[in-house]
């Protein structure tokens, strides 16, 4: 059976992530309840509005289950707002906003500007082949500091925008908005090796 990868589906679009994961051989599952979260092998936390997602995690009863799964080593991939949720420290979040400290990074929300400041860039990504990854940044956060155990896989203007610590990946951009599957595949390969194809 392919690995079941949950898609946190409380707010924000998950369809493109689901398509990418399925194309990589995983079984995507939308997650809105604690029981659904308990049934998956990994979780993608997509873009959206991080404060809204944080509040919905609390009101849905998912927050504590998610915290426990992450503490137990569940693989996770947070993109844009998902990066903020997985971070150890959020510099400019609301006082009641929760982050899950799944990766030892400090994140600044909307660091690249507002919606009108969205942009695209080609990134050199450690762990991929020589072909750059075309990245889409939309109201993107940025990593301002990383802990000793964090690998910075890509930077833009010297600032980290793709990081990994163990089986937790975070990106400031939206890898699902391009047809390039290499980052989803890298996440799955790091977390599960060939298990996703068995």
Enzyme catalytic residues: 80, 174, 176
**Residue holding tokens 């802990």?**
147
CA 147, CA 75: separation in Å to the nearest integer? Answer: 18
Query: Taking the alpha carbons of 84, 61, 64, 93 in that order, is the dihedral positive or negative?
Result: positive
Rounded to whole angstroms, what are the CA distances from 15 to 6, 49, 88, 125? 12, 17, 27, 24
Distance spanning both ends of the chain, measured CA to CA: 6
- List the structure tokens of 97: 């906003």
With H, G, I as helix, E, B as strand and everything else as coil, classify residue 4.
Answer: strand
Query: What is the largest distance, in Å, between two alpha-carbon atoms of the chain?
Result: 44
């Amino acid at each position: 059976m392919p690995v079941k990868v949950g898609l946190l589906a409380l707010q924000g679009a998950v369809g493109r992530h689901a398509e990418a994961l399925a194309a990589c051989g995983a079984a995507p599952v939308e997650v809105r309840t604690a029981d659904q979260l308990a049934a998956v092998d990994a979780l993608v936390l997509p873009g959206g509005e991080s404060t809204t997602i944080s509040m919905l995690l609390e009101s849905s009863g998912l927050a504590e289950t998610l915290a426990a799964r992450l503490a137990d080593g569940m693989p996770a991939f947070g993109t844009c707002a998902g990066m903020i949720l997985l971070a150890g420290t959020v510099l400019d979040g609301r006082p009641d906003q929760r982050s899950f400290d799944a990766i030892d990074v400090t994140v600044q929300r909307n660091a690249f500007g507002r919606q009108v400041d969205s942009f695209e860039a080609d990134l050199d990504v450690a762990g991929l082949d020589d072909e750059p990854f075309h990245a889409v940044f939309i109201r993107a956060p940025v990593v301002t500091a990383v802990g000793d155990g964090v690998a910075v896989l890509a930077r833009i203007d010297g600032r980290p925008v793709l990081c990994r610590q163990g089986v937790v990946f975070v990106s400031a951009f939206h890898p699902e908005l391009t047809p390039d599957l290499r980052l989803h595949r890298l996440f799955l390969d790091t977390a599960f090796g060939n298990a996703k194809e068995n």
